[in-house]
Amino acid sequence: MSVNSPSLTQLITSDYPHGFVTDVEENTFPPGLNEEVIRKISSEKEEPLFMLEWRLAAYRYWVTCETPQWANVQFPPIDYQSIIYYSAPKMLKKGPKNLQEVDPEILKTYQKLGISLQEQEKLSGVAVDAVFDSVSVATTFKEKLAEAGVIFCSFSEALKRYPELVQKYFGTVVPYRDNFFAALNSAVFSDGSFCYVPKGVRCPMELSTYFRINAANTGQFERTLIVAEEGSTVSYLEGCTAPIRDTNQLHAAVVELVALDNAEIKYSTVQNWYPGDKNGKGGIYNFVTKRGMCKGRNAKISWTQIETGSAITWKYPSVVLRGDHSIGEFYSVALTNHHQQADTGTKMIHLGKNTRSVILSKGLSAGQGKNTYRGLVKMAPGASFGRNYTRCDSLLLGSRAKAYTYPSIEVKNKTACVEHEASTSKIGDEQLFYCRARGIGEEAAVSMIVNGFCKDIFRKLPMEFAVEAQKLMEVSLEGCVG
């Protein structure tokens, strides 16, 4: 069957299922950004002074920066003065004590998203720190985690209750001078998640954060910091959706991971921000800085991302392999459909001896989607016997989709070893016809082929989310793949 057949088109053009708007009263700042706004954000959140100083320093740096142009994505200039930098549901200003205090409208929203907090709490054993616009709505399982000594709370709460811990690690992996969007985030970030796993503790459950942009014209700038002390392990999953709006919304988050000796952090993302309509109108600009630091020996950081949403995705979850024998992993599926653009990949910076990294990237482009893998593997002079294996596969659906690969490799140590493999293939009419000639309908065939292509990555997700990811791919490709 031709990829332009009606059923294929229909599949591609299915509606975004998370596009509802929640009607709650919000405490919203007027649009615009200046030092005064930053001071107000900080005082609204009753932050310690060091935080305000950091925000202001970041802001003063940011105003000297220009929007970077190197990514393989196109969008009109963003007017940063038209963005609202703080928006909080009003009754939550002081933060809910428990689920009963949460605005029922918000809880309904989560239910529509399929993450009823009560259910989560009682049934699933997944702790959820739900971020609704700029304020963390409810944090479940806090007590159980506390028994194990694990701190898992909103970033604002962490700033109030554990300021020294935050101060010790905050900005050590992603300094505000890192890039344009990291600087912006550092100046205006509103909330996020904080997780601290003490020495020797295996976090007793999967941690999970659902972010949701609700208010119109609101930028979401969340900040996540995860610290795994010596010999500890933690697995963290974030999922993202946003309502449908005609205008583009900016999402510029920063995630920092710190793994000390023998610690392991597994960070999985299922990103399904609103991608814009089929003509490319609206959708989230997802410009995110994610980086992990393997600070200690034998530390391990693993990124797994399933990227199906956003009008534009621009992110490179990276690992700095500082500790000897540390390990970095990056497993990615990025799907672009309609007019979506993704420029994503990773950086593996090998500093220590015997450091190892693996990069597995699967890019899928359908419709007029544009998918770019951009990666850097760097072996510093001290990275003796460092090893990297990279594999980038691209799958094209239809004749108008595009795939690009830009791998950079810098090796400054003779004993280091870097391998790179890449492939580009197409779900061809041949494959589809073969499946259909066996009685398998077109949509089922596409779904089967796509899932086969992504299988290696899905395997890396926590079990319960692997199924979700598979379904998400089906929804995102509806009408698309054939």
Partner 1 sequence: MLTIQNLQSSIQGIEILKGIDLTVKPGEVHVIMGPNGSGKSTLAQTLAGREDILVTNGSVQFLGQNLLALSPEARAQAGLFLAFQYPVEIPGVSTLLFLKTALNSLRKARGEPELDALEFLNNIQEKVRQVKMDERFLQRSLNEGFSGGEKKRSEILQMLVLDPKFAILDETDSGLDIDALKVVAEGVNSLRKPDRAILVVTHYLRLLEVMVPDIVHILWDGRIIKSGDKTLARELEQRGYEWLTEKA
Structure tokens at 119: 């259910």
Q: How far is the CB of 445 from partner 1 (least distance, A)?
A: 8
114 touches partner 1 by CB under 8 A: no
281: nearest Cα among 250, 244, 309, 336: 244
Tell which one of 206, 261, 324, 442 touches partner 1 (CB under 8 A): 442
Q: How far is the CB of 266 from partner 1 (least distance, A)?
A: 22
Q: How many residues bind partner 1 (CB under 8 A)?
A: 26
Tell which one of 428, 464, 467, 471 touches partner 1 (CB under 8 A): 428
Closer by beta carbon to partner 1, 79 or else 430: 430
451 touches partner 1 by CB under 8 A: yes
433 touches partner 1 by CB under 8 A: yes
Closer by beta carbon to partner 1, 213 or else 450: 450
2 touches partner 1 by CB under 8 A: yes
Distance, CA of 332 to CA of 317 (rounded, Å): 10
422 touches partner 1 by CB under 8 A: no
Q: How far is the CB of 402 from partner 1 (least distance, A)?
A: 21
Distance, CA of 18 to CA of 36 (rounded, Å): 35
Side-chain-side CA neighbours of 173 within 13 Å: the count stands at: 29
Distance, CA of 234 to CA of 231 (rounded, Å): 10
Closer by beta carbon to partner 1, 3 or else 150: 3
Distance, CA of 207 to CA of 349 (rounded, Å): 27
Closer by beta carbon to partner 1, 114 or else 428: 428
Using the rule CB under 8 A, give the single segment among 17-25, 182-190, 371-379, 423-431 that binds partner 1.
423-431
Closer by beta carbon to partner 1, 263 or else 454: 454
470 touches partner 1 by CB under 8 A: no
56 touches partner 1 by CB under 8 A: no
Q: How far is the CB of 470 from partner 1 (least distance, A)?
A: 12
Tell which one of 11, 195, 454, 481 touches partner 1 (CB under 8 A): 454
456 touches partner 1 by CB under 8 A: yes
Closer by beta carbon to partner 1, 412 or else 455: 455
Q: Do 307 and 269 touch, CB atoms closer than 8 A?
A: yes
Using the rule CB under 8 A, give the single segment among 66-74, 113-121, 187-195, 450-458 that binds partner 1.
450-458
Q: How far is the CB of 374 from partner 1 (least distance, A)?
A: 23
Structure tokens at 131: 């971020």
Closer by beta carbon to partner 1, 1 or else 216: 1
410 touches partner 1 by CB under 8 A: no
Q: How far is the CB of 6 from partner 1 (least distance, A)?
A: 12
Closer by beta carbon to partner 1, 167 or else 451: 451
Structure tokens at 233: 């392990």
For 311, other C-beta atoms within 10 Å of its C-beta total 26
Using the rule CB under 8 A, give the single segment among 18-26, 285-293, 448-456, 462-470 that binds partner 1.
448-456
Tell which one of 404, 440, 462, 470 touches partner 1 (CB under 8 A): 440
Distance, CA of 217 to CA of 264 (rounded, Å): 37
345: nearest Cα among 355, 356, 331, 328: 331
Q: Do 18 and 113 touch, CB atoms closer than 8 A?
A: yes
Which H or E element spans position 375?
strand 370-379
| DSSP strand pairing (312-315 vs 387-397) | unpaired
Structure tokens at 222: 């969340």
437 touches partner 1 by CB under 8 A: yes
CA angle 429, 453, 289 (to 5 degrees): 125
Q: How far is the CB of 448 from partner 1 (least distance, A)?
A: 6
Q: Do 208 and 139 touch, CB atoms closer than 8 A?
A: no
Residue given tokens 């994503």 in the structure block: 344
Structure tokens at 165: 């811990």
For 246, other C-beta atoms within 10 Å of its C-beta total 10
For 308, other C-beta atoms within 10 Å of its C-beta total 24
Q: What is the DSSP string of 221-252?
A: -EEEEEEE-TT-EEEEEEEEE----SSEEEE-
Q: How far is the CB of 430 from partner 1 (least distance, A)?
A: 5
421 touches partner 1 by CB under 8 A: no
181: nearest Cα among 316, 348, 22: 316
Closer by beta carbon to partner 1, 213 or else 454: 454
Interface contacts to partner 1, rule CB under 8 A: 1-2, 425, 428-431, 433-442, 444, 448-449, 451-456
